[in-house]
Structure formats: C-alpha cells, structure tokens
Chain A
Amino acid sequence: MTNNIPALSIRGLRKVYGNSFEALKGIDLEVRAGDFFALLGPNGAGKSTTIGILCSLIQKSEGEVEIFGKNIDSQFSQAKKDIGVMPQEFNFNQFEKVLDIVVTQAGYYGLPRKLALSRAEKYLRKLGLWDKRNDRGRTLSGGMKRRLMIARALVHEPRLLILDEPTAGVDIELRRSLWEFLKEINEQGTTIILTTHYLEEAESLCRNIAIIDQGQIVENTTTKALLGQLNKEVFILDTKEALADFPLIEGYPAHAIDPHSFEVEVDKAQSLNELFVALSERGIHVVSMRNKANRLEELFISMTNQDAQSLDSRVATSDEGFAS
C-alpha cells in the first residue's frame, strides 16, 4: 500500500513527568502508511510513554503528533478513529463476556450494534475465540486474553494498529500463529507499530525499526539496513571429541565454553569455509553450530549500551521467552 500521508508523524515530542523526569527528549519519528514498524528499546527508554501519548492516555509536554495527517490535539476524534491499541496489560473487564467486551468497544467508536456484532464475530473467529464468546474474560487463558485484546483493538478496523508487547508470555506455537495473523492484516493495508522484547519478532515481522534509548531515537532505519551494520557474528560450535588443547586459529578470536564446545567470532569479510578448513586440519570435528545470540539483539546491545549480562534479565530471545 502506498500513500503520501504518513500513518504516524511525530515532531519534537517531549514528555516531562511531574517528578521532573524527562521521559522523551524531543523525538521525531515517521511511520509510512502500510508499514510494519518496530519500536524497540530497553525498559524505561520511552516506548510506553510514546505509545501512551499516541493513544491519549498520557499528555505530552511538547511536540506535534499526527495520525494519517490528523492532529491528535485539534482533530482528536478523527485521529483516534484511525488508531487501534492493544496495551501490554490486560485492561478489559474480567467479569464481562468475551463478545460483550468486543461489541462494547465497537460501540465506543460509534459502530451500530449490527455492524459491531458482525465485526466481533469476524475477528473472534479469526483469532480462534468464537467458541469462547459467552465465557467471562477472567476464565480465559493468558494467550486467549491477549488474542481478545487484539480482537478488541481491531473491531473498529483502524488504519493504524499499535501493539505493545503483543506476544508477551504466550507460547511459541501461539506466537507464530499471531505473527501470521499480523502479517495478514498488514498485507491487507493496516499499518502496524509494535514494541517487543522478542527481538526475533521484530526481525521477522518488521520492515522498519526505530530504537529508542533514554528518551531519544538512537536509530531509525530499515531492518535490512540495520542488520547490514552487523559486521561480525559469534557462533557456538559443538565438537565430537572433547578438546584437550583449545585450538588457536589466526584471525578467528575464540574461547572455550566447555570441553565439547567453544565460541568463535567471525567477521563479515571472513569466510566460514576457511574456519572449517582450519578446524579440519587440526582434526576437530564440528557436529553442530548456532548463533550465540539473535543478530538484532547484538545490535540492540551496542546501540543502547546494554551489557550482555544486564540484557539477559530483560531481553528474552525466543527460546527464553518460551521457557518463561
């Protein structure tokens, strides 16, 4: 989908909280219509503040925000109609029935009841919740609750869908199915902005990525260009036999993890073939090989000055996410 008017235009956005904490330091951001866009950043970087301002749950201190060319201050009603938001926390009435939750939200957007019911059925079916329509919200599993919030965000068919950690805490199978669903609605023209701690999610889904840190945008480019900045990768190699002496290979910094595995740093200009030739010459048989970390994660660490240790506790790779 092409459109000259950006889905989101942010200029000089600043937010200072009552305790003088400056959460946003005058950020500029533009998301083109039809994009699948990731807003990444460590905890406290300003992601939620930005999203809160877009959804008018947080009042900005300075700056201009436009949704499809409509100013959120002077044309708030039109601007809000174009936004659908799925917050990170479950914020629906747990005592209401699933169908009522979605239909009520449609009513708040002025949709007639007949249309609201048909839209609710459409999205509840797509998200596998139609059979649960008469169940109370509190009886749903965590994954179902998350899907319910997506259905609720979509019921008025917004042009811009904002997802704050859409797959947090859901199992890997459901996460993959949600990815497919999000890809489908994006292909149908809905612009999507997501925040996520699963960097693999951003790498798989998003065409463009902005990284926010300490209230400032430190990177805003295409996913491809961002990954292109990665000039080295770290691989973990598992060997068939235990290594008595750790092999030193010139040009490939490496260190042992245990007798059966070691990690090696490979520059983008170097060849993996050369590494394997050198290992073969030393009689080392490699039985498996994997990336030490998600590629985007490595960039994220360098751009936000996160050390790997602190990141471990905050940024989950897909497997860690599954385990949690």
Chain B
Amino acid sequence: MNYHEQWIAFATLVVKEIRRFARIWQQTLLPPAITIALYFVIFGTLIGPRIGEMSGFSYMEFVVPGLIMLSVITNSFGNVVSSFFGNKFAGNIEEMLVSPMPNYVILLGFLTGGVARGLAVGAIVTVLSLFFTDLDIQHPLITISVIFLTSILFSLAGLVNAIYAENFDDITIIPTFILTPLTYLGGVFYSMSLLPEFWQGVSKLNPVLYMVNAFRYGFLGVSDIDVRWAFVMIVMFVVVLFIFSLRLLETGKNLRA
C-alpha cells in the first residue's frame, strides 16, 4: 500500500469514526454538555460565590479550565474504547484486519476519531462556559497544545482498554475506578495548595494533575506545578502509550487467534 492509499484508508476510518459519534449525538455530544452545564450552575453559580477566590480568581474562572479538561479526557477515552470494543465485539474489526491497512493507520484512525470527539465536546463546553463567565486565554498556544496532547493520550488509553476488554464490564471498570478518581483528584475543582503537604506529594503522582494545571496555566496564567514538567510528562505518556498500542495491534492481542 503506497502512502496515497494509506492516506485514503486513514481518511476513510476517520470519516467513519466521526460519522459514528455524530450519528448518535444524543449519546455522545449532548450528555457531556448537559453534565458540564450543571457543574457550571452548581459549582460556579450557586456554591462558587460562597467558596470565594481560588488562586486569585473567582471559583467560576478557576473551575472552567478544569471542567473543559474533564470533558475532553472522558470523551476522548470513551469514544475510542466504545468504538473499538464495539467493532471488536460485533466482528467489524475484521474489515480492517483483512485489509492491507498497516496497523499504524488503524491506530491513527481511531486516535483521530477520539481526538475529534474530545475536542468537539471541549468546544461545546467552552461555548457553554461563556454563558457563565468571560474567558481570557493568557497563553493560547499552551492551551491548545495541552488539550490536543491530552486528548491524544486518553484516546490511546481508550484503545488499550478496548483491546484488553473481553466484555462490556471491562470497558466500564477503567473509567469508573481509575479515570474518574484520577480526574476528580487531579485539581479540576481545587488548587493543590489547599491540600496538606503529604497529600500534595501524593497528588503529584497523578498524571491528570499535570494536564489540568498546564491547561489552567494556558487560560489563567497560574499553575500548581511547573508547566514545562507537565509537557514532558504528557509527551512521555503519549509516546509510551502509542508504542504500546501499536505493539498490541501488531501482536494481534485479543484480535487475532
């Protein structure tokens, strides 16, 4: 397969993935928008004023970047894990496996689908946030690059989960017991400076903390951690997960007998 043919195969898979989540927008785009809007209302408008300032900003201003990041993480992960596992479960994955598409094209296709949904939901949530607060992005390049890399990272994580999953329970365990706690404890709703010193140290083991703080830095210009270190962490995770996912596809783990 030459590069032009590989590009066509890649574009075909990406269009299929985007068509999938767009077709079922009531399940993929609408629920996160409603959930995050409720967060804005409850935490931002109702409880926020009683909390006061956080890191020198109103609670609403503080929480918006975290909630955008929360929606991007869960939707990037959720899109790939449900789509890939659905393909595997129904046998459609064989359409790709019998074709001459290289494994990295399959990987990039699902990855792009996950990023597309993550960023689409992120964009919807960002627009919704404008009804509650003004957004003044301090470092646009950092903001965009962090959200993009984070979306890639969790799309890859979703793919790994989907490859290992053998039933529908397996694709809910990781989001419920790992992803949600990491995200909620990753500084979405609070500044790490509120925690006792010991728990600040523990929090630094949470990779989501680096993503949320780097993203918040892009918006507000404040962060609990060094943004450069955050970039190193995110890129390192992306590289490791990409190599690992590709290896899983090449060995045919849970895909080829």
Which A residues contact B (CB, under 8 angstroms)?
17, 52, 55-59, 76-78, 80-81, 83, 85, 87, 89-95, 100, 104-105, 107-113, 152
What residues of B have a CB within 8 angstroms of the CB of A87 in the complex? 91, 94
Q: Enumerate B84-107 residues with CB–CB distance to A below 8 Å.
A: 87, 90-92, 94-102
B interface majority secondary structure: helix
Do A110 and B252 have beta carbons less than 8 Å apart?
A: no
A interface majority secondary structure: loop
Chain A nearest CB, measured from B116 CB (Å): 17
The residue that A80 contacts in the complex, of B87, B91, B100, with Cβ under 8 A, is: B100
Q: If the complex has contacts A76-B100, A104-B16, are A52 and B257 also in contact, measured as CB distance less than 8 A? A: yes
The residue that A109 contacts in the complex, of B90, B99, B256, with Cβ under 8 A, is: B99
Chain A nearest CB, measured from B84 CB (Å): 13
Q: Is B22 an interface residue (CB 8 A)?
A: no
Q: Is B4 an interface residue (CB 8 A)?
A: yes
How long is the Cα–Cα vector from A77 to B1 in the complex, in angstroms?
Answer: 6
Please name 29 pairs of A and B residues whose Cβ atoms are closer than 8 Å in the assembled complex, sorted by A: A17-B257, A52-B257, A55-B97, A55-B98, A56-B97, A57-B98, A58-B257, A80-B98, A81-B1, A83-B98, A87-B91, A89-B91, A91-B90, A91-B94, A92-B92, A93-B90, A93-B92, A104-B16, A104-B95, A108-B13, A108-B96, A108-B99, A109-B5, A109-B99, A109-B100, A110-B2, A110-B6, A110-B8, A110-B9
- CB-CB contacts of B209-246 with A at 8 A, as 1s and 0s? 00000000000000000000000000000000000000
Number of interface residues, chain B, beta carbon within 8 A: 29
| Number of A-B pairs, beta carbon distance below 8 Å | 82
How long is the Cα–Cα vector from A77 to B3 in the complex, in angstroms?
Answer: 12
- CB-CB contacts of B70-91 with A at 8 A, as 1s and 0s? 0000000000000000010011
What residues of B have a CB within 8 angstroms of the CB of A111 in the complex? 8
Do B256 and A91 have beta carbons less than 8 Å apart?
A: no
Give the nearest-CB partner of A105 in chain B: B95
Q: If the complex has contacts A76-B100, A77-B102, A83-B98, are A58 and B256 also in contact, measured as CB distance less than 8 A? A: yes
The residue that B11 contacts in the complex, of A80, A105, A107, A152, with Cβ under 8 A, is: A107
Give the nearest-CB partner of B86 in chain A: A93
Q: Is B180 an interface residue (CB 8 A)?
A: no
Give the nearest-CB partner of A18 in chain B: B257
Do A85 and B98 have beta carbons less than 8 Å apart?
A: yes
Most chain A CB within 10 A, of B16, B97, B99, B257, is at: B99
Q: Is B138 an interface residue (CB 8 A)?
A: no
How long is the Cα–Cα vector from A113 to B87 in the complex, in angstroms?
Answer: 22
Chain A nearest CB, measured from B44 CB (Å): 37
